[in-house]
A = this chain, B = another copy of it.
Amino acid sequence: MSLLEQLIEAFRVLPGVGRKTAQRMAYHVLERGRDGGRDLSRVLAEAVERIGHCSQCRDFSETEVCAVCASGGRDRQVLCVVESPADRLAIETATGYRGLYYVLQGRLSPLDGIGPRELGLEALATRLAAGEVGEMIVATSATVEGETTAHYLAQLARQHGVRPSRLAQGLPLGGELEYVDRGTLSHAFGSRAEMPR
């Protein structure tokens, strides 16, 4: 296989990149982005070797403890549990949240062999037992597996005297009633709240 063919195949490891896109990437790098290609190669090799997981929150980190967990400026009484590093980043970027995080790196899915052990729930339980955390925000996704995980996490929290809370569900901002799915609409209708004066 020629080096160009190898490069095209190698790009296909990236998510959402099929044969055509991989080809375009290879040609682009060779035609107009050799310096960028060099950088990407170097940083990628370094990242793959050096980025591990934070020993406290399980998020990606190049250090034993990540910057958020090590920070002195965060509220250590609130713990937000998310499924993935991407979810953590989304919350950190979109909200003004100043507490800590716990990244499950997945969600409960017995059929796929993903149980409490794979999600690091033992370590989470130990942390809740330590008594520092007062509220646990369960920010798993609003899917069946996410809800199952949320339910499990809520029980775990209560066992250790920690108050569990869950992100609000309802119409998305800018959501047209006509186009919102039935489940969401039904839930939002049932959970209607009195309007303030």
Asked if residues B10 and A43 are in contact (CB atoms below 8 Å), the reply is: yes
Asked if residues A46 and B15 are in contact (CB atoms below 8 Å), the reply is: no
A112 smallest CB distance to B (angstroms): 13
Q: Which residue of B lies closest to A67 (CB)?
A: B2
Interchain CB contact (< 8 A) of A43 among B7, B14, B33, B36: B7
Asked if residues A25 and B36 are in contact (CB atoms below 8 Å), the reply is: no
Q: Which of A21, A23, A41, A44 has the most CB of B within 10 A?
A: A44
A contact patch SS: helix
- Complexed CA–CA distance, A51 and B50 (Å): 29
Q: Which residue of B lies closest to A106 (CB)?
A: B31
Residues of B within 8 A of A10 (CB): 36, 39-40, 43-44
- Complexed CA–CA distance, A36 and B15 (Å): 11
A93 smallest CB distance to B (angstroms): 10
- Complexed CA–CA distance, A86 and B23 (Å): 8
A32 smallest CB distance to B (angstroms): 9
- Complexed CA–CA distance, A77 and B31 (Å): 29
- Complexed CA–CA distance, A31 and B30 (Å): 28
> In this assembly, does A114 line the interface, its C-beta being within 8 Å of a C-beta of chain B?
no
A138 smallest CB distance to B (angstroms): 21
> In this assembly, does A47 line the interface, its C-beta being within 8 Å of a C-beta of chain B?
yes
Known contacts A60-B30, A86-B24; decide if A43 and B6 are in contact (CB<8 Å): yes
**Quick one: CB contact mask for A1-23 with B, threshold 8 Å, 1 for yes?**
01110110011011110000101
> In this assembly, does A99 line the interface, its C-beta being within 8 Å of a C-beta of chain B?
no
A177 smallest CB distance to B (angstroms): 28
Asked if residues B47 and A84 are in contact (CB atoms below 8 Å), the reply is: no
> In this assembly, does A148 line the interface, its C-beta being within 8 Å of a C-beta of chain B?
no
Residues of B within 8 A of A29 (CB): 13-14, 44, 47-48
- Complexed CA–CA distance, A84 and B37 (Å): 19
| A and B contact pairs by CB, cutoff 8 A, 14 listed | A3-B46, A3-B50, A4-B62, A10-B40, A13-B33, A14-B25, A14-B28, A14-B40, A27-B60, A27-B84, A30-B51, A30-B60, A31-B105, A37-B44
